[in-house]
Amino acid sequence: MNKKRILIIDDEASQRELLSMLFSRKGYSVTCASRGDDGLKEHERSVPDVVILDIRLPDRNGLEVLGELRRNNPGTAIIMITAYHDVETTVRAMKLGACDYITKPIDVDEIEKAVSRAFRLATTDGPKTSPIEQDLQKGPIIGRSKAMKEIFKSIGMLCENRVTVLIEGETGTGKELIAKAIHCFGLDADHPFLAINCSALVESLLESELFGHEKGAFTGAVSRKKGKFELAGEGTIFLDEVGEIPFEIQAKLLRFLQEREFQRIGGEKTLKANARVIAATNRDLWRMVKEGAFREDLYYRLSVARVHVPPLRERKEDLLCLIDHLLKKVNLEVAKDIKSVEERGMLRLLEYEWPGNVRQLENVLTRAAIATRGEVLLEEALIPFLGKEAVQAETPGQNRLSLHEVEKDHILKILASTNWHITKSAQILGISRPTLRTKIKEYNLLPKH
């Protein structure tokens, strides 16, 4: 029986050696290449089932190599690995046909599971992809946490089809940004993206905004008006706060999702439309279904695909990169040149629970920046905008924890919550298992009995 074959294309010798040793011991036939061109030649020679491909190579961009591999042998399953964490690269890799995308430092359990999934894919004709006709613009979605990496992957998969999507998450988590990314990276990016806040309009106005109305349909309807579904064409309708849609309009929305047809208010003609629907909610729609406040059949129609966006307090490992990104944006908006946040101020931001999530973080940084004269945001500039809890917590002579102490406490809490399961804890923290073990040793952490 022939061994299953893996090709590793990575310019980092230690990485190649580690992965080669890992999979050789598991009985796979492993070959390696340190450059993109060499990898393509080795692929042609050995015809591997699975390729593990680094995105940064000395001679070529890994995405170019990915494209050539997929064109030459669409049945090969390809796993991308990278030290960089961004949505546009993930989406491009998924659109070009990568079956998975893993960030460095590589977690052994994660790469093993990815390879296992890849071998199952390699026995088929491989994932179907469409070519990228233009470079994708850098997007505004920032995050390095495990949860955000999964969202990037979801965007990559959902932009290749037109299924209805339900995005769930608290206010301020960036649900509309995710909806826009699915649209802008998608098949119909040249068509309109139309957003409507379902909680901001009374029932009659909301129905008119969605479906349009005929002249004379109601008082004030002095002319015919096209609704969002009609105006969107082949584009996307984003229904924000979809849980606030009144029951009667829910029935009309359900009909549209089932039949792709509707009528304007006061009209008799049945109209067709093919707009994609992406909905978002900060409420528990299933609970609303159980309480009789939301139609069960509409819930299933809306949630063909679901994306859960975690609150900022559950992915605080993203705070540093978010702050860095938002400060650049804030500087442009308020004409400042703020380069950093002082350590005590950063501790405040890390300790805060962020009930308003990323939107609140941007608001706090903006207001603090307006009140700052220098290049550094100080603790005292931030505290007034962090709510009563932060002000009350500031007592004269209070001993403040260092960043290392905060990190130690956070790691200990995560370990305790997983019952000291190293792999689960590392995934939640967004670091590799070796890094977590180094931290445990560095901080001399011990489980409480």
What is the rounded CA–CA span in Å between residue 323 and residue 85? Answer: 15
Ordered domains of the chain (ranges, CATH): 5-122 (3.40.50.2300), 161-308 (3.40.50.300), 313-393 (1.10.8.60), 403-443 (1.10.10)
Residue of 360, 402, 408 lying closest to 382 (CA atoms): 360
Question: pLDDT digits over 294-335, tens only?
Answer: 999 999 999 999 999 999 999 988 898 899 999 999 999 999
Question: Is residue 92's pLDDT more than 90?
Answer: no
* Total-model pTM: 0.68
Q: How many CB atoms are closer than 10 A to CB 225?
A: 18
The helix/strand count (H/E) of the chain reads as: 20, 16
What confidence tier does 255 reach under pLDDT thresholds 50, 70, 90? very high
What confidence tier does 144 reach under pLDDT thresholds 50, 70, 90? confident
b/e string for 127-138 if b means 16 or more Cβ within 10 A? bebeeeeeebee
Question: Is residue 232's pLDDT more than 90?
Answer: yes
Question: pLDDT digits over 202-224, tens only?
Answer: 888 999 999 999 988 887 888 99
What is the rounded CA–CA span in Å between residue 234 and residue 277? Answer: 11
What is the rounded CA–CA span in Å between residue 217 and residue 214? Answer: 5
Which residues are 105's β-sheet partners? none
- Residue 193 CB partners (closer than 8 Å, separation 6+): 179, 180, 183, 184, 235, 236, 238
What confidence tier does 400 reach under pLDDT thresholds 50, 70, 90? low
Question: Is residue 164's pLDDT more than 70?
Answer: yes
**Omega before 105 within 30 of 0, i.e. cis:** yes
Residue 154 Cα distances to 87, 159, 250, 315, 369, angstroms: 10, 8, 27, 18, 34
End-to-end CA distance of the chain: 50
Q: What is the mean pLDDT of residues 76-95?
A: 83
Residues of the chain with pLDDT > 70: what percent? Answer: 91
What confidence tier does 388 reach under pLDDT thresholds 50, 70, 90? low
Residue of 414, 31, 353 lying closest to 170 (CA atoms): 353
**How would DSSP label each residue in 412-429?**
HHHHHHTTS-HHHHHHHH
What is the pLDDT at residue 75? 80
Query: What radius of gyration do the chain's Cα atoms show?
Result: 25
